[in-house]
Structure 1
Amino acid sequence: MSSKLIGKWNSFDNLSARDVHDLLKLRQDVFMLEQDCLFPEIDGKDPETEHFFMRDTETGALAGAIRLFSASDKEIRIGRVVVAQTHRGLGLGRDLMLAGMDRARQLAPAADIHLSAQAHLEKFYKSLGFSKISEVYLEDDIPHIDMVATPGGTQ
């Protein structure tokens, strides 16, 4: 992790108004504008999740974020992994995923960790110990696959 970035977990209810604004703006900029994908970004699920933010300590900018659903002691889901264009190429996606996986193991050590990945990122997620468990499908006109990391898997 870059020395100028700091990460922090929060429940949705503990996010500041600035945090919520920055999160929704970042996800809008990346998922809707950059990826040219019109979909309901505010999906009503954020209040049910924990959020991990990585902020640039020099500028205060939100560099990346991830959300974690603790569905049960058998399944946890990671979603909305997003990295600001200004902070790409620094390994931040890996840092976010490792933070999410570590938090999932803290919450439910025996749980499978699920995610819906953009298909072109399959190799990246495999490098973190995830395995493909579905065929490619379209989600908001973007090819996706379902993946899972099981307890004791490699990272």
Structure 2
Amino acid sequence: MNWQIKEFNQLTTKELYEILKVRAEVFVVEQQCIFQDLDSKDEVSYHLFLEDHSEIVAYLRILPPNISYSEVAIGRVLTKAEHRKKGISKKLVQNAINFVTDILGEQAIRISAQAYLLKLYNDLGFEPVSEVYLEDGIEHIEMLYRK
């Protein structure tokens, strides 16, 4: 398995296709959520993913400040169903935190987390900063990480 982080213009056509495919598989099909995934934020984001034999098994995007929030944001966090409960999601988010704090030099990260993942994010240092709310029919909570 191979971790990669790339800016949009560094992604190959195949990587971009696989990213969009897995996002649709998890967010649209599995979670039965109809939403506009292609929101023009991908082009300004970093894309962190784990590949296993050219298949993307975990993914998230890192958005610069002032795109979604005043802080850096992490979004579209996913791990394919058959790869869950192996610690991959925790490593994925930890790699993103390390990149944001060590490479980008940012001190805060804001996320809109699915509420059922509150413990995962809390264990990684994120604190809830909102009440639970519905986003695309799924309970979410805004959380903030501060180094």
Coarse TM-score class (shorter-chain normalised) = over 0.9
Partner SS for 2:35: coil
Q: Is the 8 A contact 2:47 2:59 kept in 1?
A: yes
Instruction: Report whether the alignment pairs 1:7 with 2:12.
Output: no
Instruction: Report whether the alignment pairs 1:43 with 2:39.
Output: yes
Q: Is the 8 A contact 1:70 1:104 kept in 2?
A: no
Instruction: Report whether the alignment pairs 1:140 with 2:132.
Output: no
Q: How big is each residue's C-alpha offset from its partner over 1:77-100, in whole Å with a ceiling of 9 and x where there is no partner?
A: 111111112211211100110110
Instruction: Report whether the alignment pairs 1:68 with 2:62.
Output: yes
Structure 1 position 46, deviation (Å): 0.3
RMSD: 1.3
**Separation (CA, whole Å) in 2 of partners of 1:50 and 1:78:** 10
Q: Which residue number corresponds to residue 23 of structure 1?
A: 19
Aligned length: 144
Q: How big is each residue's C-alpha offset from its partner over 1:4-51, in whole Å with a ceiling of 9 and x where there is no partner?
A: x11011000110000011000000000000000000011111001000
TM-score, with normalisation over the residues of structure 1? Answer: 0.88
**In the alignment, which of 67, 75, 78 is matched to residue 82 of structure 1?**
78
Structure 1 position 110, deviation (Å): 4.7
**Sequence identity of aligned pairs in percent?**
34
